[in-house]
Amino acid sequence: MKYYIVTSDVFNTLNKENIQFMLRSIDKSKNIVVTSDTIDSVLHSFTKASELSSYTFDNNSEWVGDGTGVTTDEINTVEYVSELDD
């Protein structure tokens, strides 16, 4: 899997069937995306889920807003993401 942060505009062009995990930023301008696809136009890319998790803990006001972040376990969870249909 590949771990990215992309703009909402880029997210809207992605193949949703290949997305394992997605989380919108609080202001809905960015998305964390875990996908099997390679994305060229990204804000940030990470080689491991743990690096992405650390980023969210360091920048928590952007992603969760409660002083925490997104855990590696949450990122690695394969589950249907209802917001993909929005």
State pLDDT tens for residues 19-69.
999 999 999 999 999 999 999 999 999 999 999 999 999 988 898 888 899
Q: Is the full-model pTM beyond 0.85?
A: yes
Domain boundary assignment for the chain: 2-77
Q: How many CA atoms lie within 13 A of 18 on its CB side?
A: 13
Q: How many CA atoms lie within 13 A of 62 on its CB side?
A: 11
Classify strands 19-24 and 2-7 as parallel, antiparallel or unpaired.
Answer: unpaired
Q: What sign for the dihedral angle of Cα 8, 4, 23, 15? A: positive
Yes or no: say if 11 and 33 are a contact pair by the CB < 8 Å rule. Answer: yes
